[in-house]
Structure 1
C-alpha cells in the first residue's frame, strides 16, 4: 500500500515528527510505504525562530508551489495523509477536489488549528476561512484527532469517521532513572521559545519554591535569555535537540506543564507530560484540556488550578521522595499501556489500510 504524506514539517518540526514521521518504520512492517512531502523547510523554521518574517514568507511561497506540483501526481498513491490542511490561509477547495477525485484522505490534528481561522482577530479571515477546517474534516475519509476536544470539533463538522490517537513517545528512548536520595530535587520543563510564556505564568511560584525548598529549575528548549526573568536563583537552560531530549528529561525529578485555560490550549495534546512520565517522573500540570485525561490526579501527578495548588503540589513532591517514585512508576505504566508508539502504531496502520481498501472497493 502506498501513502502520500503531506506533512507540515520535516523531523525538525515537533508536530510532524510526533504525529506521523516517527511511525514510518513501524508502518513499513504493516505493508505501508509512505512518501513524505513537508510543506515548510528547516530554513523556514530557522527564519521563524529568529524573527525573520520576510525570509519565512518567501520560503513558504516556494514550498507552496512545490506542494501543488506534488498534488498533481497524487494519483500514483492509494491514500493521501494530510497534517491539518494542505495550504494554510487558503480555502479548502484543494482538499475538496482531492476527495472528489476518488482520492481518499486521512487528516490529522494535534492542535486546535481551526481556531487560527474562526478566532482570528481579522474579520475577513473569520468570514472567509472560519469554517475551512470543518470542511476539510467533513470531506476526509477519516479524521485522526490527538484528543477529545479536537474529536468533538470533527464530530460537529460532520466527519464520517473519527479516531482519537494521542501523541505518543517511542518508549525505548526513555528510561526511568532513580536519582540519588541526597541530591537537590530538580523541577524540569521542556518546550520551545514559542511556549515559554506558559512557563513564565508560574514564575513567581517557581521562584518561591526553588528558593525556600532548595530546589533547582532545569529548562530545556527555552531561550537562554529567560534566565534574566527569574530572581533569587538561576535556572539552568539547555538547548533542545531530538537526540538529547530524553537524556535532559532524565536529569529531572519533577516535570511541569503550565497552561492557560483557553480554546487554543484545550486543543494541545500534553506531549511533554507523556515525555516526563516515560522517564518515570511525577508531573504537575494545569487542569486544562488533554492534561486532565493524561494525569491521574494523586496517582501519577497533580492537576493544579491556581498559584496555591501549584505551590502545594510542587512542595509535596520536593519533600516526599517516596511519593515522587510512586507517582513516577504509575506514569511510566500509563505510557507503556497507552501513550507509546508500539501501542498506537497498529491503530494508525488499521486506519490507513481501511481507508485504502474502501477506495479500492469503490
Structure 2
C-alpha cells in the first residue's frame, strides 16, 4: 500500500477540488491511501473559516497562511510520497525543501507568472520535485526547460458526479446560455459582453445564467433574461445541468495558454454544447464543428451562438460528442491510472 500526503491550497480552491480531492475516493482500488492536508486558510481566497476576524489582512494573514502549512511539515514525514498541488505559499519558494521526499509537484496554471521577479523561486520548486505533473503541454514546455521530469495529466471530471442533463425535448422551452467561474475571471467575459448581450436579446427564448461568487454587473442590461446564481459546491452540478450552451471566452495571452479548459470539460460532461475561444488547450479539447465551436472574433462568437440557439440538432450532436470526449480522455477513470503510475515511478526512482 502506497501512502500519499496530498497537500492542497484550500477547501474551495478549484485546483484542490478537481486535481486532488476528486481522486481520493478511487485511489484505494489501486492500493493507494492518500490523506489530504488542506490549510484552514485558503491560499488564494482569504480565510476559509467563518471565525476569522476581518482585520486579519496583509502581513498578518500571510503569517497565518504560513502557519497553516506546519501540520504537513510535521505529520507528512510518515508518508511514502508528498503530492503538492501548487506551491505552499503563492508566489514564493518557502518550505518546499522541508517536505517529505519523493515529492510530486502538480501544476494546472501558468503559475510562474505569479512569481513576478522571483522566477528563480518557481524554478527552485520545480527542481526540488522528483516529478512535475502538468495540466497541459504549454505548462510542460515551460517546466521542461528546467531539465526536470514531467508528465501531462489533464484536470479530470468525475463523470459519476457530473451527469448529463435531462432534456425534455420541448423545442419551445427556454434555452440557457451559461458561464461558471470565479469573479477573478470576469475580464474574459468583458471581451465578449456586447455580442453576448445582443445574442441573448435577439433570441426570444434565450436567457443567460451566470454562476459565480458575485454578479457580473454588465449582464444586468439583459433584465429578465439574465439570472445570477451564487456558486456553491452543492449547487454546481445542478446549475451546469441547466445550461444548453456553455461558453469559455479567453484572451490570447500567457495566462490563458496555461489554462486547462476545465469550464469546457464541465459543460461537456453535463451535456451542454460549447463555444470557446480558439486559445491554448481549448483547441485540444474541442473538435470544431463536431463537439463544439472554436472562435476567434466577436463576429464568430455571434455566429456560433446564433447557430446553437436556432438548431436543436447541432446542440444535441455537440452535447453527445462532448460527453463522449470527457469519458474517453478527461474522466477520473481515464486519468487515474496515469496518476498511480506517477506515484509508482517516483517510488521506484527513489529506492
Q: Same fold (TM over 0.5)?
A: yes
Task: Give the CA deviation at 1:228.
Answer: 5.0
| Alignment deviations for residues 33-87 of structure 1 (CA, whole Å, 9 cap, x no partner) | 2222224525973559x9x985244344223124245314433211111112223
**Whole-Å Cα distance in 2 between the matches of residues 145 and 104 of structure 1?**
17
**Whole-Å Cα distance in 2 between the matches of residues 88 and 212 of structure 1?**
44
Q: Is the 8 A contact 2:91 2:114 kept in 1?
A: no
- 1:132 counterpart = 2:121: yes
Q: Is the 8 A contact 1:227 1:237 kept in 2?
A: no
Q: Which consecutive aligned stretches of 4+ in structure 1 deviate over 6 angstroms post-superposition?
A: none
**Whole-Å Cα distance in 2 between the matches of residues 182 and 217 of structure 1?**
17
Q: Is the 8 A contact 1:7 1:36 kept in 2?
A: yes
- Partner of 1:233: helix, strand, or coil? helix
Task: Give the CA deviation at 1:200.
Answer: 2.8
Q: Cα 1:266–1:220, aligned 2, differ >3 Å: closer, same or farther?
A: same
Q: Is the 8 A contact 1:80 1:105 kept in 2?
A: yes
Pairs within 5 Å for 1:305-324: 305-324=296-315
Q: Cα 1:311–1:27, aligned 2, differ >3 Å: closer, same or farther?
A: same
Match of 2:109 in 1: 111
- 1:95 counterpart = 2:96: yes
Pairs within 5 Å for 1:140-159: 140-159=129-148
Task: Give the CA deviation at 1:222.
Answer: 4.9
1:75 alignment partner, one of 74, 77, 82 = 77
Match of 2:64 in 1: 62
In structure 1, the gaps of 5 or more residues are: 121-125
Q: Cα 1:231–1:66, aligned 2, differ >3 Å: closer, same or farther?
A: closer
Q: Cα 1:196–1:6, aligned 2, differ >3 Å: closer, same or farther?
A: same
Match of 1:3 in 2: 4
Pairs within 5 Å for 1:229-268: 229-234=219-224, 235-268=226-259
Task: Give the CA deviation at 1:231.
Answer: 2.1
TM-score, normalisation: structure 1: 0.88
**Whole-Å Cα distance in 1 between the matches of residues 277 and 181 of structure 2?**
15
> Is the deviation greater in 304-313 or in 177-186?
177-186
Task: Give the CA deviation at 1:267.
Answer: 0.7
Q: Is the 8 A contact 1:203 1:230 kept in 2?
A: no
CA-atom RMSD, angstroms? Answer: 2.4
- Tell me how many residue pairs correspond in the alignment: 343
Task: Give the CA deviation at 1:116.
Answer: 0.7
- 1:85 counterpart = 2:87: yes
Task: Give the CA deviation at 1:145.
Answer: 0.7
Task: Give the CA deviation at 1:115.
Answer: 0.6
**Whole-Å Cα distance in 2 between the matches of residues 110 and 286 of structure 1?**
19
**Whole-Å Cα distance in 2 between the matches of residues 77 and 307 of structure 1?**
51
TM-score, normalisation: structure 2: 0.90
Match of 1:123 in 2: none
> Is the deviation greater in 201-210 or in 30-39?
30-39
> Is the deviation greater in 333-342 or in 74-83?
74-83
Match of 2:19 in 1: 19
**Whole-Å Cα distance in 2 between the matches of residues 253 and 353 of structure 1?**
41
- Partner of 2:163: helix, strand, or coil? coil
In structure 2, the gaps of 5 or more residues are: none
**Whole-Å Cα distance in 1 between the matches of residues 68 and 10 of structure 2?**
14
- 1:352 counterpart = 2:343: yes
Greater helix share, structure number: 1
| Alignment deviations for residues 312-347 of structure 1 (CA, whole Å, 9 cap, x no partner) | 010011111100001111001001101111111121
Q: Cα 1:232–1:218, aligned 2, differ >3 Å: closer, same or farther?
A: closer
Q: Is the 8 A contact 1:167 1:339 kept in 2?
A: yes
